[in-house]
Chain A
């Protein structure tokens, strides 16, 4: 069920639930505070005032007690005057009580008090009149009646006061109930908020922050540096650089597709040309054989002899071109074995030792230790090196030094590699020639077939390596063979 929601939906749901719970809590608290406030206000403003009025009512009633008896005892009218004052006070408090009464029952009891009080006053007036007229006996009799009325009235006042006490205590109970409810609600809301918060934190950490961190580490460049405090920023930077890489790869792909298309055309042309070369070879050999036969039997003048030699020479040249071209277009399969390229270098130098000496060219070999073994075809590799050496001594017409430097290196594209540099002290390679140098049939030599470097490049590329040129004008040339050092 939970899994059905997307990460986004889950976070939104949790966030909404969290906010709702918190808002609800806040609203309930707010409402509770207001309720408490209004309860307090009503308690103080209404109940307390009303209760005070009730108390004062009772007090002012009690204060009227006894004056009639005093008047009966000594007939002093001052007692009546004082009583009248208290009577007036009672009237005022009754008015106040009526104003502050807030229930039907209270109003009812106050009406009762008023009616009874009026009756009591009336009876009292009668008693006073009787005493004034000197009718003591009837007065006393009536006086007892008035006293009974007074006690009833006092009871009523007491009841009215009790009613207030009851109302106050009821309000308190109500507020306590409410407080208990709020407490229960808060107790329930607290764990809900805590659980929702923890869930949110769990999702944030487990499904957002954690993945971001691991992504940042995964996409980190090879230097393995720490991603820094802001992983999102680092990630965004890396994603951008990844996008750039993708763009680069895209354009490289397009280039190589173009190259492939081009090389597809070339392959076809090459096949045709190879067929032609092969067909040419047969009659060419026949011509060669006849020339050989002629040379043996013919008595020639010196100029005839020269013509004959030139024909033979050119035929040989043609044959070399055709042979090289066929080798280039139909490369033999590599016979791989584990071998140190240093051994191949030694073999190539040994192979050409005599010719190098005849050209007056010295070979300087810069080797710290023997290069590690790689998977290679020693014969093909030797051909490459011999080719480079021949190219080198042929440009150094008046002698020079060929330097062969062996080293190991880390190549960004090929990984661990072995590198063989073949440098000459010849005239160098001019800018204009440099681009064409590796193209088939390009040659600066009179007798060249223009295929030597093409074949060499192809052999090195078949080994998974690279053949590059480092050349300066006037300062000799350096051909660099880079071969991958595979650990398998």
Chain B
């Protein structure tokens, strides 16, 4: 009977109007910039610097609603990440934020909600994040989006 509990959790978050985003990136400065930029947008942001931290956060008590994943973080076992995300309830949308041409055949890519090439322009990332959240959580985070 895990379902009611999950619904209860979602409801709580919805009421608190907190959309939680997990950023996994190998570069500390990139992590911090994105935390600042997305935090300014009203998101609750967490960061992970490698695969271990990422898994810990995903398994933690308060899991994120969206994952921004750099495919180059250390200790990233893509197969394992994908195995965990595949049947996850509720599903966790993933935005891959990485260098474009180098990983065209990796597993996660076709399964991600969005793919964004890592560039200087952070506005683009913000737009993609908003779009993915709007699509996956059409009711919970409306006010966040309206506030943009």
Contacts and interface: CB of A to CB of B under 8 A. Distances in A.
Contacts of A282: 26-27, 30, 72
B101 A289 contact: no
Interface in A414-438: none
A326 B102 contact: yes
Nearest to B28: A286
B79 interface: no
A282 B118 CA distance: 9
Which of B72, B102, B104 has the largest count of A CB atoms less than 10 A from its CB? B102
A298 to B, nearest CB: 15
Nearest to A327: B101
Interface in B26-42: 26-27, 29-30, 33, 37
B101 A326 contact: yes
Contacts of B29: 283, 286, 290
A174 B138 CA distance: 137
Contacts of B121: 292
Interface in A316-354: 323, 326-327, 330, 332
A293 B33 contact: yes
Given A326-B102, A332-B101, A292 B122 contact: yes
Interface in B60-94: 72
A289 B30 contact: yes
Contacts of B26: 282
A281 B119 CA distance: 10
Contact of A332 (B27, B33, B72, B104): B104
A251 interface: no
Contacts of A327: 101
A283 B27 contact: yes
B51 to A, nearest CB: 17
A92 B97 CA distance: 151
Contact of B120 (A283, A285, A332): A285
Given A323-B101, A327-B101, A293 B122 contact: yes
Contacts of A278: 102
A291 interface: yes
A56 B120 CA distance: 152
A29 interface: no
Contact of A290 (B33, B101, B104): B33
A288 interface: yes
A382 B99 CA distance: 22
- Secondary structure dominating the interface of B: loop
B80 to A, nearest CB: 23
A285 B102 contact: no
Contacts of B104: 332
A445 B119 CA distance: 24
B116 to A, nearest CB: 12
A370 to B, nearest CB: 30
Q: Is the interface of A mostly helix, strand, loop or mixed?
A: helix
B33 A289 contact: yes
A330 B102 contact: yes
Interface in A258-311: 278, 281-283, 285-293
A261 B62 CA distance: 57
B119 A288 contact: yes
Contacts of B101: 323, 326-327, 332
A482 B37 CA distance: 50
Contact of B99 (A281, A291, A293, A332): A281
Nearest to A291: B120
Contacts of A293: 33, 37, 122
Contact of A286 (B33, B72, B99, B102): B33
A286 B37 contact: no
A286 B122 contact: no
A330 B72 CA distance: 16
A290 B29 CA distance: 9
B3 to A, nearest CB: 41
Contacts of A326: 99, 101-102
A285 B99 CA distance: 10
A283 B25 CA distance: 12
Nearest to B33: A289
Interface string B105-141: 0000000000000111110000000000000000000
A313 to B, nearest CB: 12
A283 B30 CA distance: 9
Contacts of A286: 27, 29-30, 33
A291 B30 CA distance: 12
A286 B118 CA distance: 9
Contacts of B122: 289, 292-293
Contacts of B72: 282
Nearest to A287: B120
19 contacts: A278-B102, A281-B99, A283-B29, A285-B27, A285-B120, A286-B27, A286-B29, A286-B33, A288-B120, A290-B33, A291-B120, A292-B120, A292-B121, A293-B122, A315-B120, A323-B101, A326-B99, A327-B101, A332-B104
Pick the 10 closest A-B CB pairs, nearest first.
A288-B120, A292-B120, A286-B29, A286-B30, A286-B27, A289-B120, A285-B118, A289-B33, A282-B27, A292-B121
Interface of B: 26-27, 29-30, 33, 37, 72, 99, 101-102, 104, 118-122
Interface of A: 278, 281-283, 285-293, 315, 323, 326-327, 330, 332
Given A285-B99, A326-B99, A330-B102, 15 more contacts: A282-B30, A283-B27, A285-B27, A285-B30, A286-B30, A289-B33, A289-B120, A289-B122, A291-B120, A292-B122, A293-B33, A293-B37, A315-B120, A323-B99, A326-B102
